[in-house]
Amino acid sequence: MRSINSYRPQNQHPDGLVRYHERLAEHHREQVRVTVQAMHRRKMKPHEITVAAVVKESGVSSATIYRNDDLFALIRHANPNVQRRQAGQVYERTIHQLQEELAKAKADREYYQKEAQLAKSGGKGPQQEVIQLKKMIIALQRQVACLEELLARCTCGAR
C-alpha cells in the first residue's frame, strides 16, 4: 500500500520533479498572461497594471513574478513604467560585489598556497631572496673592508 505522501513532488523521481516544476512554471506563465490580457480587455489604464494587481488576480506570488524575467516582462509590456523591486536590485548589486570579493579571495588563496609550497619545499620566496642577497652584500662589503685594511698594512713595495 502506498503512502499518501508518495505523490508529493519532493518524493518523486528527479525526472518527475523536473517535469512538475516545468508544468508549474508554464502554469504560472499562463496565469499571468491571461490576467494581463483580462486587464487590457477591461480597459485598465497601463499605470494600473502593476505587479501587485496581477498578483491579486492571478494568484501567482510576487516573488515568483520578480524572480522570473518572462513573467515580469509580460507585466512590463503592459506597463512600461513598472520597476523591479529596489530590494532585488540591491541584492543583485550585493551578489555582484560578493562574487568579486570571492574571486579576489580565491586569487589570494592561490598566491599564499604557492608561497606555502615554496616554503615547505625549501625554496625561498621573493622576500626571503632579497634578505639573503642583502646579507651577502653586507658580508662582501666586510670582506672588501678587511682586504683594503690588509692592503693598507702591506709592507711589500707594491704600492
Tell whether 65 and 8 lie within a shared domain: yes
Residues 23 and 59 in one domain: yes
Number of domains composing the chain: 3
Is residue 159 domain-shared with residue 144, that is, in the same domain?
yes
> How many angstroms separate the CA atoms of 72 and 50, rounded?
10
**Are 12 and 41 in the same domain?**
yes
- Which three cell numbers mark 95? 551578489
Shared domain for 69 and 113, answered yes or no, is: no
With a pLDDT cut of 70, the percent of the chain lying above it is 81
126-131 contacts, C-beta under 8 A, 24 or more apart: none
Same domain flag for 25 and 78: yes
Domain co-membership, 10 together with 60:
yes
Q: Is the domain of 118 the same as that of 155?
A: no
Per-residue pLDDT of 78-125, as tens digits, reads: 888 888 766 556 677 777 888 888 888 888 888 877 777 777 766 556
- Kindly compute the dihedral angle of the four CA atoms of residues 151, 155, 158, 159, in this order, to the nearest 10 degrees: 70
**Cα–Cα distance for residue pair 113/117, rounded to 1 Å:** 6
Last residue of a domain, one of 56, 84, 112: 84
Task: Tell me which DSSP letter residue 66 carries.
Answer: H
Q: Give the span between the Cα atoms of 127 and 122, in whole angstroms.
A: 14
Same-domain status, 37 and 52: yes
pTM over cut 0.85: no
Start-to-end C-alpha separation, the chain: 114
Q: Which domain holds residue 144?
A: 124-159
Return d(Cα 159, Cα 141) in angstroms, integer. 22
pLDDT of 142-152, one tens digit each?
A: 888 888 887 77
